[in-house]
Amino acid sequence: MADTGKTAKLERRAAFAAFLFLAVFGYFWVGLNPFPDPNATSLSTPYGGTSNVLNQLIVIAMSAVVLHTVLQSPARHLLLRPYGLLICLLVWLLFTGLFAGDPSAAFRRIVFAILVCLCANAVLLIPRDGQQFAKLMCIGLTITTGLSYFGVIALPHLAIHQATDALEQSLAGDWRGHFGHKNVAAAAMVYAVFFGFYIAKAGQGRLGILIALSAGFFVLHAGGKTSAAMLPAILLLAWIFERWTGFGTLLLVGGLVSLNAMLLTAAMSSSFSALLASAGIDPTFTDRGSIWRLALSAIAERPILGYGFQSFWQTDALFNSGQAMTTWAVTAANSHNGYVEQLINGGIPALVMVVIWLVILPIGYARRALAGKNDVALTRLFLRIWLFSLFLACLESPFFGNSGPIWFTMLIAVFGLRLQANAGLVVSAPSSPALKASLDPSSPVDALVILKSR
Q: pLDDT tens track of the chain, all 454 residues?
A: 556 767 777 778 778 888 999 999 999 999 888 988 887 655 444 434 445 778 888 999 999 999 998 888 788 888 888 989 999 999 999 999 999 989 999 999 999 999 999 999 999 998 877 888 999 999 999 999 999 999 999 999 999 998 888 877 888 899 999 998 899 999 999 999 999 999 999 888 899 999 999 999 999 999 888 899 999 999 999 999 999 999 999 999 999 999 999 999 999 988 989 888 888 888 888 889 889 999 999 999 999 999 999 999 988 778 777 676 677 878 888 899 999 999 999 999 999 999 999 999 999 999 999 998 888 999 999 999 999 999 999 999 999 988 889 999 999 999 999 999 986 554 444 333 333 333 333 333 333 444 334 4
Confidence (pLDDT) at 324: 64
Instruction: Burial-class residue 67 by CB neighbours within 10 Å (0-12, 13-18, 19+).
Output: middle
Q: How far apart are CA 71 and CA 68, in angstroms?
A: 5
Give the count of beta carbons closer than 10 Å to the beta carbon of residue 293: 16
DSSP helix/strand/coil, 81: coil
Three-class SS state of 426: strand
pLDDT value of residue 10: 72
- pLDDT for the residue numbered 442: 33
pLDDT for position 434: 31
Q: What is the pLDDT of residue 426?
A: 47
Alpha carbons 5 and 147: distance in angstroms, whole number = 38
DSSP code for 280: T
Pick the closest to residue 140 from 191, 77, 85 (CA basis).
191
DSSP letters, 158-179, are HHB--TTSSS-GGGTT-B-TTS
The pLDDT score that the predictor gives to residue 128 is 79
**What was the pLDDT predicted at 445?**
35
User: Which of 185, 193, 152, 177 lies closest to 34, judged by CA?
Assistant: 177
